[in-house]
Amino acid sequence: MPSMTFMTLLTFLTLHSTSLMAIDLQLLEKPDILTSKVVKKFSKADPLVVVFLSAQCPCSNSHSEELKMLRQTYGFIRFIGVHSNPEEGTELGKTYFSNLKLGFPVIRDDSLKIADAFKALKTPHAFILNNGEIVYQGGVSDRSDFSKASKHYLRDALESVKNHVPILNSQTRTLGCAIRRGE
């Protein structure tokens, strides 16, 4: 019989291993918080950034300007924000993301089905999908306060996608506020 430590490690690796895992993109076909238009027509052939965000997390907020810049810099890549914090409420999210002006849609995930499918843990938690598979997951940077960051993980990964080269750090540490699941 395997030891408890081995089983715990195996469970952890299973829950947190999303590298090269395929995701059902139909999960993302939900109304944009701001426009109420359903976000759809995802193509597995096109790169996609999915970033989990919070209206109340200081770490998520400190990375918002970088996310706007990335969206502008990598305009050929589609971005979508996911708001998986039911306790923050629809109106709070709508007001916050409206004022933020990210330049990409943000959808609600009150049921946490999207967060569970991606195994998203914190906000901001970023994923890059290419050819329908997760090729990057982790933080936007190496600091919870972006102004103090020395490594820009998501930017580096997007540069690799742009240049059609393998992402050197395909899985990085995610810093921020936990996406709460149940009691």
Domains delineated in the chain:
19-178 (3.40.30.10)
Encode 64-93: b = buried (16+ Cβ within 10 Å), e = exposed: bebbbebbeebeebbbbbbbbbeebeeeeb
Give the span between the Cα atoms of 23 and 36, in whole angstroms.
Answer: 23
Inform me whether the pLDDT recorded for 25 exceeds 90: no
Q: What mean pLDDT comes out for the span 28-49?
A: 90
Q: Tens of pLDDT along 139-180?
A: 999 999 999 999 999 999 999 999 999 999 999 999 999 998
CA distances to 9, 24, 107, 183 from 110, in Å:
29, 18, 10, 15
Q: What mean pLDDT comes out for the span 100-121?
A: 94
What is the amino acid identity at position 42? F
Instruction: Give the pair of three-digit tokens for residue 20.
Output: 């090269």
More confident residue, 17 or 182: 182
Inform me whether the pLDDT recorded for 23 exceeds 90: no
